[in-house]
Structure 1
């Protein structure tokens, strides 16, 4: 019998924590899932699913309004904000219910509905003052919205994605701060649903894009679709029930009043109340534990970390992968195994969509990789023009020495699907020539991928330039 109360303690019952629990239970029954907060994953409650519900409503209205050039008669498409938000809440609650059902399926004797903090590497203190010891612990406590200090003046007129989906009606006007994933998706969706929106980005960020040429393209296209300012300097004041934003951007200055501020300025891991200072875990300047992302172990401690708490890639599939690795290793502690991680894939459900597969432009530049670039603009891509979704740019990156496809960034139509396609061929370690040997149907948007790959193959020195123009692909073959 172990000298500890538990073999594995898991802090947090979100995606990473639930996955870690399932994995640890394969090897030991002496496991506790500890969480005193609201049950239901970030994805189901306030993230992926409710945001896609709002986006679906927004895109349905937008597509109807844009049908005129097809020769269709389109009238005004009204918005019943209460009906929109009712469906968002009901479907959101349905998804949360699935998570709760899964938790109810766990052995309830293994679930502790309290929060905990470390007294030392192996000892946890619960809210009721009781203590328990664990041979190994997995931190999977998730994250919460980061609220910059200047926003505090907004008081009850400040909302985050954690608040938005509980509303019974759409707001009349919102100042959205941040052009990351949350800001772009929610800002554009609210605009398309008739909310007066202006997005403010203090830097030049656009979702997950790191390629400078693509970032410039995305700023231009998105800025033409709804009011958005990059590299903005802002001052925020409150006047009664109104938020006053004074801004300077692009050599212009303006002032606008809004009902609310939507803070989409990132999320911070829930680590500050865990008592990490009582452990031997080393942390960086932001208080994040230093850990090996192949094993999820923090140094040589009996402590592992997974999901949003790790502040690495705040994506559901990454949280599940990290939970699986951390749960298995915690159950085997003191043995700890390093696992190969999947090819990175991130998607932003803006319109046009954004996808980054494999190594990004920034990744390759940071490691001083010898790579070449192939591009395609979608303006004249055949199928994209047919559907009137012909905006955006795809850039693919190949290794100069081997001809392998290393990564890609995309701002354009069907990026959520093309991102998967590219991540799969990168995972299979295919060269650009080998990918070009795969079938490409006509007419499909994926023919644009072929154009980019042909241009990359030329840049790598493996083929002559493609035809100047082809009816299936537009310029570049």
Structure 2
């Protein structure tokens, strides 16, 4: 028998985006809104994203842990990071299960986990917020469905790390995992169709990380797409590329990016349109083609953004006109050693920005690059950091970009040894036009 319930807002997705949207809806209504959070995960809502698996594994390898101990420690760290405090979900009903839209104003939940005994639940609601996040994007490669493989999401399910590993995908997840696995003493081959790793970043950043990968023993097989995959007799994988360079490995890791997770939502039943890129289409108030359904984060074709999630939750209970969403700069990090973090524009984009100047500090310890606008009071347009503590330094730059603050504020506020000081040291170097010769720090 199907249970029935009523809500003002149903948020589908129990990750950090969903939790932020649900909490925002509750707060924006002054605590009066009936908010239901539907979480399809096995462990309940996760208000804080866990650290990337690659970083956890690399640290475990540095501590001398074997694979079994490393994966156990990584799993424990991820579980601890996702445990919500009671205040985060205060006043919000949490339902465990898989949700789908059943026409306008109705959500059906096939309850699971601790709630499974209650059977199906049908919720009548005024608004729905989609916050289901992303899932691994698998390449359309012949033979993949017949071959054993793991993704970054399932790597920790591997009980025994074999001597040979092939990683397909040289984006930020692929390169970080390739390096981390190599530090356990196994032979890793990184394969990608692009000519360089991290192809969306500046070329010298790619070169720095390629050198670090080779130092750790990672074999790079770049510049030729994978055209076929087949299982081997030892339950491993044979990977064939267009250029004819083949790889045989006992473990295949597919790290070719992420896609919006729309599985099971039945969006057409509620009139919600999905764009060509596979993401839900939203307007500047985060409403989908069905105005009673909003969306935030990867499901809407954006990177995880808690500010976007909070606005979606607030707009779901707005009594008057909903607020417009203005994208804010987000830090893109790569969990390699050295670490990489980028926010705003880099060298190549600076070349297309009139009046932009590049300040940088290049040395044996890494690279710090700050792009600023022209004029009498330059403002920060972007930062690229390749060194220890990269994410912290880029986060400071993100705040300056979001606030439109003068670049000089970095120098005014910097304390020795801080992330601010790292960026300020780069700004103290003479500026150059994008694309001109790099000045070494000596």
TM range (shorter): 0.7 to 0.9
**TM-score normalized by the length of structure 1:** 0.76
Equivalent residue for 2:359? Answer: 374
The separation in 1 between residues aligned to 2:7 and 2:336, in whole angstroms, is 45
For the pair 1:244 / 2:218, whether they are aligned, the reply is no
For this pair of structures, how many residues does the alignment match?
A: 421
Task: Trace 1:102-117 onto structure 2 (pairs within 5 A).
Answer: 102=86, 106-107=90-91, 110-117=93-100
For the pair 1:153 / 2:147, whether they are aligned, the reply is no
SS at match of 2:102: strand
**Structure 2 residue corresponding to 1:229, chosen from 221, 224, 228:** 221
For the pair 1:31 / 2:31, whether they are aligned, the reply is no
Equivalent residue for 2:335? Answer: 349
Task: Trace 1:256-275 onto structure 2 (pairs within 5 A).
Answer: 256-275=247-266
**Structure 2 residue corresponding to 1:413, chosen from 388, 395, 416:** 388
The separation in 1 between residues aligned to 2:57 and 2:129, in whole angstroms, is 34
The separation in 2 between residues aligned to 1:23 and 1:420, in whole angstroms, is 23
Task: Trace 1:300-319 onto structure 2 (pairs within 5 A).
Answer: 301-314=291-304, 318=305
1:258 CA drift (Å): 0.7
Equivalent residue for 1:387? Answer: none
Task: State the Cα deviation string for residues 412-466 of structure 1 (Å, max 9, x = none).
Answer: 333123222322333443334453445463x889766445323454659xxxxxx
Distance 1:218 1:119, change over 3 A: same
Q: Select the structure that is richer in helix.
A: 1
Equivalent residue for 1:463? Answer: none
CA contact (8 A) 1:347 1:353 kept: yes
The separation in 2 between residues aligned to 1:134 and 1:209, in whole angstroms, is 41
Distance 1:334 1:278, change over 3 A: farther
SS at match of 2:97: coil
Using the TM superposition, name which of 283-292 and 219-228 deviates more: 219-228
Task: Trace 1:386-425 onto structure 2 (pairs within 5 A).
Answer: 390=365, 392-401=366-375, 402-425=377-400
**TM-score normalized by the length of structure 2:** 0.82
What is the alpha-carbon root mean square deviation over aligned residues? 3.5
CA contact (8 A) 1:154 1:237 kept: no
For the pair 1:218 / 2:209, whether they are aligned, the reply is yes
The separation in 2 between residues aligned to 1:397 and 1:246, in whole angstroms, is 41
Distance 1:335 1:189, change over 3 A: same
Q: 5+ unaligned residues in a row in structure 1: which ranges? A: 62-78, 380-389, 461-467
The separation in 1 between residues aligned to 2:103 and 2:127, in whole angstroms, is 12
For the pair 1:82 / 2:68, whether they are aligned, the reply is yes
For the pair 1:276 / 2:280, whether they are aligned, the reply is no
CA contact (8 A) 1:396 1:456 kept: no
The separation in 2 between residues aligned to 1:243 and 1:49, in whole angstroms, is 25
For the pair 1:163 / 2:163, whether they are aligned, the reply is no
CA contact (8 A) 1:404 1:430 kept: yes
CA contact (8 A) 2:11 2:37 kept: yes
Equivalent residue for 2:129? Answer: 138
Distance 1:263 1:155, change over 3 A: same
